[in-house]
Amino acid sequence: MTIILFNRAIRRSTRALRIERGDLLPAPKPRSPLVRAFYLASRVALRSVVLFHLWYVGVTALVVVCFAFVDPAATTLSMYRKYVDGWKVTRPIPISMARVPKTARRMLVSVEDSTFFSHHGIEFEAFQRAIEINQQIGRPMYGGSTLTMQTARTLFLVPFKSYLRKYLELIVTFELELFLPKERILELYFSWAEWGKGVFGIEAASRKYFGVSVTRLDPTQTASLIAVLSSPIRFVPSTLAKSRILSSRYEFLLDRYVR
């Protein structure tokens, strides 16, 4: 009897040990088809997001590095305006910083991004203010964009305001700041910023609206060109007086740099 009890005790101890090791754990219940489908879809979605990020970061970084040495042949925005909006796009005229008047550079930084030369792509206070305003109005209308961010979306993105576009814009913004000096970013902006329907760059805008190169503009004309940048599709230099905001920008530039 003692031997029988002893053998049972050994078997119980062995079974307990095997259970502890996981040898005799009950087999997991098979997942339902719905759970399996959800799990598979989640894996596919995660993999797609990772692959998209690798592709987007890789491609944009490579192109940004190239922009350190060569000018764009076209931008995503200019191609969109031509082939989607159907606008007649004026042939772009890239311009070097040496040919952009100092007054134009100072005016641009004053009204578009006063901390351009000190920030690293994002001006966090302006960004936070934009988030608060968007929350109040219920849609992403304002972006708190720096000149680097404006350059990023001009070069790589289409003109639809959304948080996804802002996220993609931030990625390129950091790449621009990482690989290019501030002067080159500003040069790309002056060469490719949207200055009207189908008009890109300050040189093309100067020739279209005043019939002369930007190097021959007087300070008043330069101020009007810079002032309309916040709404270049709706207004041109000759009509900026119809907008209270643009008029205020124009008067500010005149007071500071002309009068």
Give the count of beta carbons closer than 10 Å to the beta carbon of residue 158: 12
Q: Sketch the domain layout of the chain as residue ranges.
A: 52-66+79-257
Q: What is the pLDDT of residue 191?
A: 96
pLDDT of residue 134: 53
Residues of the chain with pLDDT under 70: 1-31, 125-144
pLDDT at 129: 57
Enumerate the β-bridge partners of residue 199.
196
DSSP 8-state secondary structure symbol assigned to residue 145? -
Please give the single-letter amino acid code of residue 138. G
Query: How would you classify the pairing of strands 199-200 and 194-196?
Result: antiparallel
pLDDT at 187: 96
Does the pTM surpass 0.85? The reply is no
Which 8-state DSSP code applies to residue 211?
A: S
Right CATH for 52-66+79-257 from 3.40.50.2300, 1.10.3810.10, 1.10.260.40, 1.10.3720.10: 1.10.3810.10
